[in-house]
Chains A and B, each alone.
Chain A
């Protein structure tokens, strides 16, 4: 293929290769060079091409090229490639000799170059298909760095719209669940948050646009080109009524909400206060009220919350006394009004709140708390209800994949849903209530775990990032800009994926783990390609992943009109 150049420094960690004649070396090609020294014997240098160039050598003037094209001067074309060494076998760090032949690494050499042969444990291979390399070979990542054994969590960066983050996350899930590499894949559960559009609402439908080529790619990866088999779709209800608020998918979507008793018992109140950290007094009050509500709801079955000391005369319509003298709180706004009463006293007059609830906080703090609660009624009234038994998403039960829609929710409600679900999930894993692994896919991490702000939801995410991998909770997080996400959340991800980046973003320190040439390439990544970085391989890999086998929008759904399908639809 070529020779190690002597005109430029050849070092054990990087060297240049000159390409001869019709030879072809491209970016990302893997090469192997053999070195020999009488004292250490044969040493092989494996490396990846990260820079290629052609130049008319010896020509000092740019305009010489014109003369060469006119046939007036003879020129010598040099074709050189820079190789970053990924591995030296055995580990003898001496430089290869200039003039040593360089070969394309294929087959076994390729496995050595990319450490594939080390990706195994006592039970077998842990090579998880993660896409295809340019030369058509499968790119693997070590499952042990994803499932929590040696490392966990995935972080995906990339600007939106170039179909990388969500597509790659779902592709990775497909590989996790169906490649057979993850041993207890049947026990694994997935919680996917759908943050925009309804992209993820057709995961269980075959994609009509899937080409033959993409099918072959799936076959090469050892994955079935099929949609996800076991998916539950959950969407928030419409503001009026109980129907799920979705536009494109009408069947098979369930509405989710919490009832007031669940809200109190599970202590979800803090997730209504995204900016808790700004005022410590308020934070204290929130914790206190959460605890009071928890005690209040103890033993109640719901969906409505029964309270004893609600002055009936001031209750609004819809309120009625029960035989036991308790009042029912039948909606979130009722609860808010009840809390207002407990904290600030009756609306009429300058009364004082219940001392048991106010926790000696100043009136200003109490008022701020109530103001915030009131403001959230509009955002969350339809998610927190007292008129129907709650059915919040439970990703640990039923279908393997749960898609929870957030797209139509206000930011406050999104925070609430994500925070409540993750907290609940994490607590149950902590208590050992579910044995299988749980994968959480969450886009827009910059919103949920921002670098500069404190919020209860960030605490949960940090908890997952830092302790999750040992508990089997794996976060597949994504964001447009990693620089805006809490460092510890990104830093704990063993696998990092970069889709196309914004030019300014690519220069930030968060991406310094990428060599300069990859940062440059991140600006021009095409659809269906990402840069994959994993701890074991010292260079990132540029991988292509196939077009989704599942539909990502209504138009892509492959309609199954066979008699069998129709019978199933009508007869259930």
Chain B
């Protein structure tokens, strides 16, 4: 039996449920617990930013079985010699839950496994495919400092920074969390230890400038940065104060400002462009998988 289109643009089916695990034992790496300034260090070169995008394009069914067709993309931006450029942009169409490749006109969806049961598992599979692609891109980069969008999930030779834009998890006890509200733009908290999936990380919060300054919710403009604990994390923490505020986006131009960094914004736009227009993809899927004989 052939795969048939069940639903286009299934993103609306997915309910985003932020998981918010409780903080494990809090372990500061610096003392005393107070706002820190710095950021005079010059940026290392080359400076890489890696990011990826995923997009669910259609839900298809073969009898009772479901598969999620999606597109994942990842790439890098490199800052070198005062210029920025794209590096290694990859786009891949995947069918989560397929057993063999699925053709829809010119589009080819490669099979990737689903991670878990039901719709949740399909989406998790798509996310995993995106993360795998990001990892592929990141592994191809040599030297310099690598900045990844999201938590640190891999290790590499050179220095590595991950940054988290939204803060559902609480890493700090109530007492220390008060400092977050007091942070001024360009200041950071002392570093603390984070353990996740066998990784030992150093992490800290920093406040990005978010014009116009004024009364803001405490989480606005807050960025959590992490780096492997075994690296020169204090040095990197100081560097991050110079790096992230300089690359913060402006709220006029980006609804996710200031945490969505400028080079990454450009990268995401370019990746989106390479993924193709969703309307066009949908039309092709409808033509080739949308019923009829």
Taking beta carbons and an 8 Å cutoff, which residues of A are in contact with B? 58, 60-61, 64, 67-68, 70-76
Contacts and interface: CB of A to CB of B under 8 A. Distances in A.
Most B CB contacts (10 A, CB to CB) among A60, A64, A72 go to A72
B82 A73 contact: no
A68 B84 contact: yes
Given A71-B83, A71-B84, A74-B86, 16 more contacts: A60-B253, A61-B252, A61-B253, A68-B84, A71-B82, A72-B84, A72-B262, A72-B263, A73-B262, A73-B263, A73-B266, A74-B77, A74-B263, A74-B267, A74-B270, A75-B266
B61 interface: no
A70 B270 CA distance: 19
A400 B287 CA distance: 77
A224 B93 CA distance: 68
9 contacts: A61-B252, A61-B253, A68-B84, A72-B84, A72-B247, A72-B262, A73-B84, A74-B266, A74-B267
Given A58-B269, A58-B273, A67-B262, A74 B253 contact: no
Contacts of A61: 252-253
B45 to A, nearest CB: 11
**Nearest 4 pairs between A and B by C-beta?**
A73-B266, A74-B84, A74-B266, A72-B262
Contacts of A67: 262
B265 interface: yes
A58 B265 CA distance: 12
B79 interface: yes
Most B CB contacts (10 A, CB to CB) among A64, A67, A68, A74 go to A74
Contacts of A70: 82
Contacts of A74: 77, 84-86, 263, 266-267, 270
A485 B84 CA distance: 58
A60 B263 CA distance: 15
Interface string B258-293: 000011011101100100000000000000000000
A58 B267 CA distance: 12
Interface string B185-225: 00000000000000000000000000000000000000000
A558 B77 CA distance: 65
B291 to A, nearest CB: 30
Contacts of B269: 58
A72 B47 CA distance: 11
Nearest to A58: B269
Contacts of B79: 71
Contacts of B77: 74
> Secondary structure of the A side of the interface?
loop
A64 B266 CA distance: 10
Contacts of B267: 74
Contacts of B263: 72-74
A70 to B, nearest CB: 8
Nearest to A57: B273
Interface residues of B, number: 19
Contacts of B84: 68, 71-75
A73 to B, nearest CB: 4
A61 B252 CA distance: 10
A525 to B, nearest CB: 38
Contacts of B253: 60-61, 64
Contacts of B82: 70-71
A70 B253 CA distance: 17
A198 to B, nearest CB: 59
Contacts of A58: 269-270, 273
Contacts of A64: 253
A195 B260 CA distance: 71
Contact of B265 (A68, A71, A73, A76): A73
Contacts of B247: 72
B262 A76 contact: no
Nearest to B248: A72
A490 to B, nearest CB: 51
A60 B253 CA distance: 8
Contacts of B262: 67, 72-73
A336 B85 CA distance: 88
Contacts of B265: 73
Nearest to B78: A74
Interface in B56-97: 77, 79, 82-86
Contacts of B85: 74
A59 to B, nearest CB: 9
B111 to A, nearest CB: 31
Nearest to B273: A58
A73 B267 CA distance: 8
Contacts of A73: 84, 262-263, 265-266
A58 B273 CA distance: 9
Contacts of B270: 58, 74, 76
A57 to B, nearest CB: 9
A356 to B, nearest CB: 93
Nearest to A64: B253
A208 to B, nearest CB: 51
A73 B246 CA distance: 12
Interface string B221-241: 000000000000000000000
A75 B77 CA distance: 11
A101 B254 CA distance: 37
A245 to B, nearest CB: 69
Contacts of A72: 84, 246-247, 262-263
A61 B82 CA distance: 21
A355 to B, nearest CB: 93
A78 to B, nearest CB: 12
Contacts of A71: 79, 82-84
B265 to A, nearest CB: 7
A68 B79 CA distance: 11
Contacts of B266: 73-75
A282 B36 CA distance: 102
B144 to A, nearest CB: 14
A72 B84 CA distance: 7
B1 to A, nearest CB: 37
Contacts of A60: 253
Nearest to B264: A73
Nearest to B261: A72
Nearest to B77: A74
Contacts of B86: 74
A526 to B, nearest CB: 35
A92 to B, nearest CB: 28
A265 B79 CA distance: 90
A60 B266 CA distance: 11
Most B CB contacts (10 A, CB to CB) among A60, A67, A68, A75 go to A67
A58 B274 CA distance: 13
A72 B253 CA distance: 14
A76 B269 CA distance: 11
Nearest to A73: B266
Nearest to A76: B270
Nearest to B267: A74
A68 B86 CA distance: 13
A73 B83 CA distance: 9
A58 B270 CA distance: 9
Nearest to B79: A71
A49 B270 CA distance: 29
A121 B84 CA distance: 60
Contacts of A75: 84, 266
A70 B83 CA distance: 7
